[in-house]
Structure 1
Amino acid sequence: MSTTQAQSKQGELPEDTGAFAWLRALGPGGRRAFGGAFGGYALDSYDYFTLPLSMVAISAYFALDNGQTGLLTTVTLVVSAVGGALAGILADRIGRVKALMITVITYAVFTVACGFAPNYETLMVFRALQGLGFGGEWAVGAILVAEYAAPKHRGRTLGAVQSAWAAGWALAVIVYTLVFAFLDADTAWRVMFWTGALPALLVIYVRRHVKDAPEAAARRNASTERGSFGAIFKSDLLRTTLFATLLSTGVQGGYYTLATWVPTYLKTERGLTVVGTGGYLAFLISGAFLGYLTGGYLTDRIGRKNNITLFAALSAAGILAYTNIPSGANGLLLVLGFPLGFCMSAIFSGFGSFLSELYPTAVRGTGQGFTYNSGRAVGAFLPTLVGFLSDSWGVGGALILGAAGYALAVVALFGLPETRGRELL
């Protein structure tokens, strides 16, 4: 164990300043909560990416155009706003852990159901229902861990939880590469959805080992106002709710545009094979994983707002560079995938801590669940717009719309306070 310790005053216990001080500071209960939230978010990511990775095969199977395939993603994300808001209310009323289990079970059941869809309309319904659980998991898991984390470590702790998204994405790409290599496309996309049953194992762990943070649970239970939409739209929180939703809209609009359409872009406009696409995505995902961790560290060092501003600008620049590489320069495409994944993920690292710090304990679940997922729902229209515009602009050209989302996020920050170091009340 490499832990650097510093002692500021004689007689005081030495301060733990090692690389994993944030994890040790959580305590046994907090580390179990971290494990549950990390696993939940990784599998949430895995279940989400079963669709984008299988989209070409699904499109061919049901004879869909780009607008129809983009609509599958938009429906998922729009319904996730409802799921996230409801999960936030549940988290404030019945507790973080119980709400977390409900969200995981929901997204697992309906991901598996997608694999049995006989037609496009049924697939859309199942995917929409999957969005109910998908929308709620992150907000509930982030709050659960945030309420265990010390203020000085909260950014990097929640950044580590966010890195689970890259882990789940990587697992999905690995499974996708294997499944599509050994099965015909008409069967492979269904198998991808059936593997979405994996989260059931996590629910067993969470039920047995994870508890709500005791102090936060006591404050929540003592409050007379818990889990209501009206509370986050009252005069004292209205400005926060509106600008936090706008922030989430911009960041997630940019992100989901890329996450949804990059696999299709690599296949249809770059002519990459299944294995080739997986290789290119490996660079994007490895950049994303390191981006989450780095962004978590920076959000504690330079502040929540500065971290978001920095990586919004870099992400927008990355999109423009990535989609304007000359034909035939696929080696450069590979190289740029790493910084693009890094920047578009680092911007998310401060979200868990930032949104948690903007709301009091009694309505933290409702506030975070509503703002994050409402932003996701509105931002979800960008992937659909890309789908419709791709017929005339090409997928690569339409992806530039993602840069506009990041610009919107920077504008939203002007209406929000800096919360670095804030105690949760």
Structure 2
Amino acid sequence: MSTARTRPDSEAPAEEPGATGAFDWFRALGPRGRRAFGGAFGGYGLDSYDYFTLPLSMVAISAYFSLDNGQTGLLTTVTLVVSAVGGALAGVLADRIGRVRALMITVITYAVFTVACGFAPNYETLLVFRALQGLGFGGEWAVGAILVAEYATAKHRGRTLGAVQSAWAVGWALAVVVYTLVFAFLDADTAWRVMFWTGALPALLVVYVRRHVSDAPEAAAARRTAGAGRGSFTAIFKKDLLRVTLFATLLSTGVQGGYYTLATWVPTYLKTERGLTVVGTGGYLAFLISGAFIGYLTGGYLTDRLGRKKNIALFAVLSAFGVIAYTHIPPGANGLLLVLGFPLGFCMSAIFSGFGSFLSELYPTAVRGTGQGFTYNSGRAVGAFLPTLVGQLSDSWGVGGALVLGAVGYGLAMVALLGLPETRGKELA
């Protein structure tokens, strides 16, 4: 078992040998680390909220602009494709100017352009604003995850980053609540715009981050000593890191392709093919989201106990089977659809719990932001073509039939794991 590293941060408490409390991972962060956790958790939760304003409003947007499913799916794809650029740039910034500064830039970016989407006069403008929103959306997770990973001990890093990941479910749930209320009291043509305007909320987080959050002292010192080697795209494609970069990108492509296919099209599937109302859709999504929240926390725990690769492999298999089962429930069996939403949300989220720790541990400090930002978001960009393909095929296959393509992504993830090392217990500095 790896021992906890010591920090020059005098505020960090020493871990008690053999401590097994449920919140030891949080106490081990120390005061500065806990503030960093709060900033990263809030940033990722609001990142999720801003992202889901689109999938939840897709039916209304499609009707307002008279879009077909292919055009609607493109709104998601362009967000995720541009997020690759935003994530890669944010990773470089994190290595060059620090994690906290880069975090603030990403949060401001996605908040501003989410609000702008609500003012779009036509489909083309909405497409552009959504693409620009992707710049901030792509960078926030990678930067926030690295910020917290560098405070976390090797012993607890998996569950610590799993807890950060759980913020995605919190933001998703908040978006569903707001969506249910907004669409219940406003006509659809106005409601979808109001949903985007509520995306201004993340701006408040920047005030907290600016005042209370700082980079981990050891990581900041290591970055400074790296000199010209900091934040270099060339470095992550050199011989010693090329294999890691290629297989980590493939891993991210598979997992995120499967996830975003479901996240984008399940609300539409529930409305158009299962005949659910706005309130009914919110109820079904509540089961999916509850499963997701518990899945993130459970996956974080298993990441530390089983290892990064075994956790991802386990939930890749379970997620693939879950997608197939969820989309093949016979008509009229909506009760079973409700019940299966929980395990589906659990599995498709638990697989992400190891990503923050795994990708952080695969790269040295000087290019950790660049490596994690590039691999996670490039994978998201390539995987983003699955939602568009589902949109194209749904006209002939139906949304439920086309959603099965999400299982293909999880198969790619299994292949990618063969080329990556296990990193459990690795010290970052």
Q: Residue deviations 1:76-121, cap 9 Å, x none? A: 0000000000000000000000000000000000000000000000
Which of 101, 112, 117 is matched with 1:114 structurally?
117
TM-score (norm 1): 0.97
Residue 22 (1) aligns with residue 25 (2)? yes
Q: Residue deviations 1:268-299, cap 9 Å, x none? A: 00000000000000000000000000000000
Residue 155 (1) aligns with residue 158 (2)? yes
Q: Distance in 2 between matches of 1:92 and 1:99?
A: 9
Which residue is 2:144 aligned to? 141
Q: Distance in 2 between matches of 1:230 and 1:13?
A: 42
Which residue is 1:308 aligned to? 312
Which residue is 1:8 aligned to? none
Which residue is 1:333 aligned to? 337
Which of 197, 211, 215 is matched with 1:212 structurally?
215
Residue 268 (1) aligns with residue 272 (2)? yes
Which residue is 1:318 aligned to? 322
Q: Distance in 2 between matches of 1:176 and 1:295?
A: 28
Which residue is 2:389 aligned to? 385
Which residue is 2:235 aligned to? 231
Q: Return the offset for 1:14.
A: 4.8
**1:25-424 correspondence runs (5 A):** 25-224=28-227, 225-424=229-428
Which amino acid in 2 is paired with 1:277? Answer: T
Which residue is 1:4 aligned to? none
Which residue is 1:7 aligned to? none
Q: Distance in 2 between matches of 1:200 and 1:15?
A: 41
Aligned partner of residue 418 in structure 2, secondary structure: helix
Which amino acid in 1 is paired with 2:306? Answer: I
Aligned partner of residue 427 in structure 2, secondary structure: coil
Q: Distance in 2 between matches of 1:271 and 1:303?
A: 42
Q: Return the offset for 1:16.
A: 2.8
TM-score (norm 2): 0.96
Equivalenced residues, count: 414
Q: Distance in 1 between matches of 2:76 and 2:203?
A: 23
Q: Distance in 1 between matches of 2:148 and 2:18?
A: 22
Q: Distance in 2 between matches of 1:267 and 1:19?
A: 39
Q: Which runs of 4+ in 1 moved over 2 A?
A: 12-16
Which amino acid in 2 is paired with 1:189? Answer: W
Q: Return the offset for 1:13.
A: 5.2
Pick closer, same or farther for the CA change 1:13–1:394 going to 2, 3 Å: closer
Q: Distance in 1 between matches of 2:103 and 2:428?
A: 20
Which amino acid in 2 is paired with 1:420? Answer: R
Which amino acid in 2 is paired with 1:117? Answer: A
Q: Distance in 2 between matches of 1:52 and 1:228?
A: 35
Aligned partner of residue 399 in structure 1, secondary structure: helix
Q: Return the offset for 1:62.
A: 0.2
Q: Residue deviations 1:306-332, cap 9 Å, x none? A: 000000000000000000000000000
Q: Return the offset for 1:249.
A: 0.1
- Root-mean-square deviation over aligned CA pairs: 0.7
Q: Return the offset for 1:15.
A: 4.1
Identity of aligned residues (%): 89
Which amino acid in 1 is paired with 2:201? Answer: L
Q: Distance in 2 between matches of 1:146 and 1:313?
A: 27
Q: Distance in 2 between matches of 1:173 and 1:348?
A: 21
Which amino acid in 2 is paired with 1:296? Answer: G
Q: Which runs of 5+ in 2 are unaligned?
A: 1-14
Which residue is 2:4 aligned to? none
Q: Distance in 2 between matches of 1:283 and 1:228?
A: 43
